[in-house]
Amino acid sequence: MGKVIILLGPPGAGKGTQAKKISEKYGIPHVSTGDMLREAVRNKTELGLKAKAAMDSGKLVSDDIVLGIVKERLSRSDCKKGCMLDGFPRNVSQAESLKEILGERYNEVVALLVDVDENILIKRLTGRRNCLKCGAIYNIYFSPPKVENKCDKCGGELIQRDDDKEEVVKSRLEVYKESTLPLIEYYRNEGKLKIVDGSQEPNLVFEKVVQLLGL
């Protein structure tokens, strides 16, 4: 049984960016509750319809919906060799549930905080663009694609998430402070917290992450 890596940090810290690098290089599955929820919304599944209103306004989707998807995903065979949780847990109650779900595997948990100063988050979030086809992450200010609105990797169209518009970004940052920030102390107390400075260039952050996680 491999490590269970929990990526912690505010919206826009670079969790997804680092997760994709780790997943590409080490083959560890990237389990992003945000990506899974957005897919459900796009496919208009029952679960997606339930989650949509909360997501549009930058609030958290209910714990039972999210726990359902996470449980199902973690039970698949590819997660046996380890996995990376991105965007989950989002509050202390989800963290307690995760502990229960993992049982013995909880010993393998490492929580990695991608730490960045609040004042750069707005630009990272409002400048974020994602490839519709392959999920690659860009930023119009910090890491623009070679051709405007086109993915360097697959030529797919780049779009801005609805919740990356400035009005919603502010409410997401509030929700983070209120609900998710306490998880830093939670995992510190559990003796599982590691911290990486996420303000540097993505490849430098990646080097540190690899060292910290012992990959």
- Residue 151: name its binding partner from Zn ion, ligand ADP, none (Cβ under 5 to 8 Å by kind): Zn ion
Which lies closer to ligand ADP via its Cβ, residue 11 or residue 29? 11
From CA 124, how far away is CA 143, in angstroms rounded? 10
- Asked if 61 contacts 93 with a C-beta cutoff of 8 angstroms, the reply is no
- Which has the closest alpha carbon to 40: 17, 66, 3, 22? 66
- Residue 156: name its binding partner from Zn ion, ligand ADP, none (Cβ under 5 to 8 Å by kind): Zn ion
Residues 6+ apart with CB under 8 A from 19: 7, 30, 32, 84, 86
**Using CB under 6 A as the criterion, which residues of the chain lie in contact with ligand ADP when the complex forms?**
9, 11-17, 33-34, 37, 54-55, 58-61, 66, 87-88, 90, 94, 124, 127-128, 137-139, 142-143, 163, 172, 198, 201-202, 205
- Which has the closest alpha carbon to 182: 90, 65, 107, 97? 90
Per the annotation, the verdict on 161 as an active-site residue is: yes
Q: How far is the CB of 86 from Zn ion (least distance, A)?
A: 18
Name the strand (E) or helix (H) holding 194.
strand 193-197
- Asked if 132 contacts 159 with a C-beta cutoff of 8 angstroms, the reply is yes
Which lies closer to Zn ion via its Cβ, residue 155 or residue 182? 155
Strand 128-131 versus strand 158-159 pairing type:
antiparallel
Per the annotation, the verdict on 123 as an active-site residue is: no
Per the annotation, the verdict on 73 as an active-site residue is: no
Which lies closer to Zn ion via its Cβ, residue 50 or residue 161? 161
Per the annotation, the verdict on 76 as an active-site residue is: no
- Residue 134: name its binding partner from Zn ion, ligand ADP, none (Cβ under 5 to 8 Å by kind): Zn ion
The token pair that represents 156 in the structure block: 């797919």
Q: How far is the CB of 155 from Zn ion (least distance, A)?
A: 7
Using DSSP's 3-state secondary structure scheme, residue 32 falls into: strand
Q: How far is the CB of 135 from Zn ion (least distance, A)?
A: 7
Q: Name the closest residue to ligand ADP (Cβ).
A: 34
Per the annotation, the verdict on 124 as an active-site residue is: no
Residue positions annotated with a catalytic role: 15, 90, 128, 161, 172
